[in-house]
Amino acid sequence: MKLLVSALENSANVHLKALHQELSDDVELIGIFDSSLGESIVDLRSLSIMGFVDALKKLRFFFKLADEMLELAGTADKVLLLDSSGFNLPLAKKIRKKYPEKEIIYYILPQAWAWKKKRIPVLEKTITHLASILPFEQDYYSKDAPISYVGHPLLDEIKLQKTALSENGKIVFMPGSRKGEIKRLMPIFHELRTRFKEDALLVVPSHFSKAELNEVYGNISDFIVTNNAHEALYEADFGFICSGTATLEAALIGLPFVLAYKASNIDYAIGSRVVKLDYVGLGNIIASKMNNEALFPELLQDAVTADALYEAYENMDKEYYMNNVSALRTYLKEGSSRNVAKLIETI
């Protein structure tokens, strides 16, 4: 079977790698994905964007890439889309129009429940099967929608879990994976680092070259640099983490942390108008659906200062946090890789 895959984000490719292990050997991946899984039509590093402004600059490039994917769809038996709704949803509509009988599976769905709810009817009409990774997601779709909860991929991928607060003094810093967000947070994280005498771990993406590390992070000689996020989250006592999937990873592992998020002013102004949520971090969003309470502090934009982050670290009720994070695993129930593999090979 030829499976056309569109996985543009590094996080999507982590999930894709776990899924790939569950697929039969006769499934051949074509399209856009991490080079470790085969021959992608594009280098993922060229796809990295941060915010609306950056996306506008690369529009022509992405239009050309979508045209290439549309042509490849004609040779594929099925299509698998992962996350990246700005690219994947328009691509799905083009594929549906040109190849109306083509089976399209969408895994890691667009967060239409958070913003752009008008996308939901489009998804229902365009996608053959919507593979939801959040239990509450189905409630936003119609009763006849081709959607099912398949479990959350992080439960397949996270093998480490704290059972109690640790006391080795180590702090972990995760300023994100995109250059823009890293550059905005690192000066603050450098200042914050001086408040801690113990070891500080810094999680960086594995695809960054040494030159990129110097350009994006500055002098990181005071940090222990690692590419292994899960081990760093398990090893540390506390974390300072940029918004994203990492907040849910930290919660599932059981590491107390503070979310720190700084977007460009224009991106934040646009985003705050269209996204109607009480929380930014995925861990808090899920927790609020469970019991209407947040698990960890969130500091956004100008509120992100070294002083404010350190104060949040000192004042956080870490015992309350530890007593409640285990409920997340129970709520999410199971991992999704095996279930999605079955969808791909049987529908």
Mean pLDDT of each 10-residue bin along the chain, 347 residues long:
95 94 96 95 78 67 95 98 94 98 96 80 96 94 96 93 91 92 96 95 89 92 96 97 91 96 66 64 89 91 96 95 89 94 91
* Residue 144 belongs to domain with CATH number: 3.40.50.11930
Q: Which tokens is 174 given?
A: 């995760």
Output the pLDDT for position 59. 83
* Residue 240 belongs to domain with CATH number: 3.40.50.2000
Output the pLDDT for position 264. 67
Q: Is residue 86 part of a domain?
A: yes
Domain holding 129, by residue range, is 2-149
Domain shared by 46 and 138, yes or no: yes
| Sheet-wide strand order for 78-82 | 28-32, 2-7, 78-82, 103-107, 129-132, 147-149
Q: Select from 149, 184, 199 the last residue of a domain.
A: 149
Q: Is residue 315 part of a domain?
A: yes
Domain shared by 227 and 101, yes or no: no
Q: Number of folded domains in the chain?
A: 2
Q: Is residue 188 part of a domain?
A: yes
Q: Is residue 164 part of a domain?
A: no
Comparing C-alpha atoms, which of 233, 251, 241 is closest to residue 182?
241
Domain shared by 63 and 176, yes or no: no
Domain shared by 136 and 12, yes or no: yes
